[in-house]
Amino acid sequence: MFEIFDNNWVLTLETKSKNKVTLDTKNYEVKIDDLNVVYPWEYEKSGILLEVKSYADILFYSFTIAGNHVLIITHDKFDLKEEIMSFFWDVDVLIIVWTKESAKLFESIEARVVVPFWEEKSIFLNTLWQHIEEVDSYKLKWEFSLDSTEFVNLK
C-alpha cells in the first residue's frame, strides 16, 4: 500500500516504510528518494524498480511500488505508435498531465486509478463526468475494480 499526495506542485508516492517516488510537476523531474532519474535506464532503489524510456524526446516512467505498476506521463505531444504503447502495459496507477490533447492518450491506456496533474485537470475531469472533490491525499487500495477507473483529484 502507498499514499499519493501533492505538496506545492510535487506529487509524492510514499510507501509504509517511507520510501518515496516524487514528480516535480513544474520541472518534470522524477526521483526515487534522493536519486534523480534523468536518463533512460532501469533503476532500483529502496525496493522500487523503475524503468525510464525515451520516446519522441520525452521521458516515460514505469515502476513498481508496493506491488503496483505505476506509469508517469508528463507530456502529451507525441504520436501513439506501437513502439511506445507496448510500454503502457497493465497499469494500476496512471499519473498523467491533463490537457485537451491528453484525452486520446488516456483512452488508449486502461488504468485502474488515474491521478491527473496540471492546471487544466479540472476541465478534463468535468469532460469525463468526473465531478469529484479535491482531496489532500489518496491511499491506494489493494483491490482494484476491473470494470471501471477511479479518478483522484489531488489539491
Q: Supply the pLDDT for residue 136.
A: 95
Q: Supply the pLDDT for residue 128.
A: 65
More confident residue, 145 or 40: 40
- Taking only the tens place, the pLDDT of each residue in 72-128 is 999 988 888 888 988 888 899 999 987 767 777 888 888 999 998 876 677 667 766
Q: Is the pLDDT of residue 147 over 80?
A: no
Angle at 70 between CA 100 and CA 13, to 5 degrees: 95
Count of domains observed in the chain: 1
The CATH number assigned to the domain holding 59 equals 3.60.15.10
More confident residue, 147 or 18: 18
Pull the grid cell for residue 56. Answer: 519522441
Q: Supply the pLDDT for residue 32.
A: 95
More confident residue, 17 or 151: 17
* DSSP per-residue letters across 110-132: -EEEEEEESTTHHHHHHHTT---
Domain extent for 121: 2-151
Q: Supply the pLDDT for residue 77.
A: 85
pTM (2 d.p.): 0.90
- Taking only the tens place, the pLDDT of each residue in 28-52 is 999 999 999 999 999 999 989 999 9
Q: Supply the pLDDT for residue 117.
A: 86
